[in-house]
C-alpha cells in the first residue's frame, strides 16, 4: 500500500510556502532544510545530514533548480491530510 505524504515546503527567509502531496513515504525528509547546519551535531551526524540534504535536493529539484513535483494548493494539502497522509515540513534556508 502506498502511503501519501503531504509536504509544506518553506523557503526560510521568504513569506511563501509551497505545498505538495506525493504518493509515497518521504517522511525521512521531515525537518530537513537545505543549508541547515546544527552546532550540536557530531561530524558523523553532520555528514549523514548532508547526505540526506543531497537526496532531498535530488528528489525535489531538477538540474535547472525547478521543482520536479507538481505543487498543490492549501486545500489539496488539507484534503490529503484528512484522508490519512502524513504531514512533513521541510525546505530551503535562503
| Closest C-alpha to 8, from 73, 62, 65 | 73
Q: Which three cell numbers stand for residue 43?
A: 561530524
Q: What is the largest CA-CA distance in the chain?
A: 41
3-state secondary structure of 6: strand
pLDDT in tens, 45-93: 889 988 999 999 999 999 999 999 999 999 999 999 999 999 999 998 8
Task: Write down the pTM of the prediction.
Answer: 0.86
Give the model's pLDDT for residue 2. 54
Q: Which three cell numbers stand for residue 63?
A: 538540474
6, 86 contact by CB (below 8 A): yes
Give the model's pLDDT for residue 8. 94
Give the model's pLDDT for residue 24. 94
CA 33 to chain centre: 8
For residues 24 and 65, give the distance between their C-alpha atoms in angstroms, rounded to a whole number.
22
Give the CA angle between residues 5, 7, 3 to the nearest 5°. 0
Amino acid at each position: 500500500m502506498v502511503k501519501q505524504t503531504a509536504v509544506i515546503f518553506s523557503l526560510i527567509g521568504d513569506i511563501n510556502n509551497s505545498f505538495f502531496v506525493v504518493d509515497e513515504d518521504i517522511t525521512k525528509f521531515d525537518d530537513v532544510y537545505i543549508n541547515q547546519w546544527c552546532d550540536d551535531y557530531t561530524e558523523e551526524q553532520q555528514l549523514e545530514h548532508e547526505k540526506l540534504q543531497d537526496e532531498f535536493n535530488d528528489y525535489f529539484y531538477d538540474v535547472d533548480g525547478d521543482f520536479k513535483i507538481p505543487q498543490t494548493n492549501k486545500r489539496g494539502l488539507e484534503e490529503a491530510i484528512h484522508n490519512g497522509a502524513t504531514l512533513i515540513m521541510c525546505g530551503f534556508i535562503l
